């Protein structure tokens, strides 16, 4: 499948769906091939799906709950 950089910008979801079906997408810019969008290997795709989100436990070293941390961040700041 071929797509332009404009298609990449405007139809990203459709192009990713094409890779999910196993298709390779050739991205062109001004008629010249520039990039190739290819599906991930099944092993890598399964590992990413099963893996933990790297942001999980981001505030585990902080005291209090996450809600308290967010409330503290949202408080008005005094810039005197």
26 within a domain of the structure (yes/no): yes
Q: List the domain range (segments joined by +) for residue 5.
A: 1-41
* CATH code of the domain in which 17 resides: 3.40.1620.10
Checking if the pLDDT of 3 tops 90, the result is yes
Question: What CA–CA distance (Å, rounded) separates 7 from 17?
Answer: 13
27 within a domain of the structure (yes/no): yes
19 within a domain of the structure (yes/no): yes
What is each CA distance from 49 to 14, 15, 38, 54, 70, in whole angstroms? 20, 19, 17, 12, 28
pLDDT-based confidence at residue 15 (cuts at 50, 70, 90) = very high
Mean pLDDT of 14-24: 90
Does 77 or 30 have the greater pLDDT score? 30
Q: What is the number of domains present in the chain?
A: 1
Q: What is the pLDDT of residues 22-75, one digit of tens each?
A: 899 999 999 999 999 998 876 555 655 566 667 777 767 777 787 888 888 888
56 within a domain of the structure (yes/no): no
What is each CA distance from 14 to 11, 17, 27, 31, 66, in whole angstroms? 5, 5, 13, 20, 36
């Amino acid at each position: 499948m071929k797509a332009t950089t404009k298609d990449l910008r405007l139809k990203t979801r459709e192009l990713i769906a094409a890779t999910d079906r196993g298709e390779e997408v050739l991205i062109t810019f001004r008629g010249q091939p520039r990039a190739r969008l290819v599906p991930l290997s099944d092993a890598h795709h399964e590992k990413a799906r099963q893996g933990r989100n790297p942001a999980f436990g981001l505030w585990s070293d902080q005291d209090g709950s996450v809600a308290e941390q967010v409330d503290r961040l949202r408080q008005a700041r005094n810039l005197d």
